[in-house]
Amino acid sequence: MIDKSTRERLERRYYPGLEDVVFGGFEAQLDRWLTPGAVVLDAGSGPGSWVVQAYRERLGLLIGFDVYRPDTSNLDGFVMADSLSLPFAGDSIDAVVSYLVLEHLSDPAAALAEYARVLKPGGAFLFKTPAVRTPLFALAKVLPTRTHKRLKSGIGIDEDDVFPTYYRANTTTSLHQDLVAAGFRREWLRTVDQTYAYATHRPWTYALGLLYSRITECTLLSWLRNQIIGVYRLEESSWR
C-alpha cells in the first residue's frame, strides 16, 4: 500500500478538487446540523466515527452504539446495542450520524424507524453508504465476507473491522423510500465517487482510481458514483 505523502502527491496531480467534491458537502451538513450543545448518536460507532470528531468539543453529548465493544475513547458514552432496538427514550436525540453502516443492516427500514423514534422533533439523520448499482459495489455484493476481508486487508483495513454486508437500502430510490416511510423528509442528497480509495496498492493504480473518480463529476457519468451521502429530517407530521 502506498504511503500518505505519495497519495497526497498523486491527488494534487490527478484530482486536485478531491477534498471539496468528496468531503466538502457532507462536512458542511455536519457543521449545520451538529449544533452547539446537541446530543448526537453515532450509529455503529466502533470507537467513534472520525467524521464527528472535529465537532466533538461543541457537542453537548456524543453517544455511540455498536454490536461489539471497542475502545470508546472518542465518545462521551457508549452502549452495546443494534439499530433495531435502541436503549434510548423517544425524542431524546438531536442528530443521528450513520457513516458506512446502512449497508450492514439486515433490516434497514426497521432501523430507520428506530432512529426516527429516538430523534427529537425536527431531528436530523446524516448518512453515508455505498451505492450498490455501480461497478465496484455490484461486484462487492456477490463476493463473500471472507473475500471482502482479504481484499480490504490489502488497503490497510483490519480484517476484524470488516463485517457482513446486505446492501438492502443502497440505491437512492430504495433509501429514499425507506426514509420517507419512517417519517423523514429529504433535506440534502448527493452521490460522490471514492473508487480511488480501493486502489491504494500501487501509485499507478491509485492514479487510475483518482482519474476514474474525477470523471464521474460529469453529469452523464453520475451513475458511476459509488457513495450516497445525505441528510433527512423528521416530517412535522411525525413529531410526537
pLDDT tens digits, residue range 94-114? Answer: 999 999 999 999 999 999 999
CATH of the domain at 53: 3.40.50.150
Where b means 16+ CB within 10 Å and e means fewer, 197-215 reads bbbbeeeeebbebbebbbe
Q: What is the pLDDT of residue 60?
A: 97
pLDDT tens digits, residue range 46-86? Answer: 889 999 999 999 999 999 999 887 788 899 999 999 999 99
Which cell numbers hold the place of 225?
458514483
Which cell numbers hold the place of 119?
430523534
CB 200 within 8 A of CB 4: no
CB 62 within 8 A of CB 76: yes
Stretches where the chain sits below pLDDT 70 are 143, 145-163, 236-240
The 10 Å Cβ neighbour count of residue 29 is: 18
Number of domains in the chain: 1
Task: Give the mean pLDDT of the chain.
Answer: 91
Q: What angle do CA 131, 108, 80 make, to 5 degrees?
A: 115
Q: What is the pLDDT of residue 145?
A: 65
Report the chain's terminal Cα–Cα distance, integer Å: 50
Distance CA(203)–CA(79), nearest Å, equals 41
Q: What is the pLDDT of residue 147?
A: 62
Question: Which segments of the chain are extended strands (E)?
Answer: 39-43, 61-66, 77-80, 93-99, 119-130, 184-192, 227-234
Q: What is the pLDDT of residue 37?
A: 98
Domain that holds residue 129: 4-238
Q: What is the pLDDT of residue 72?
A: 86
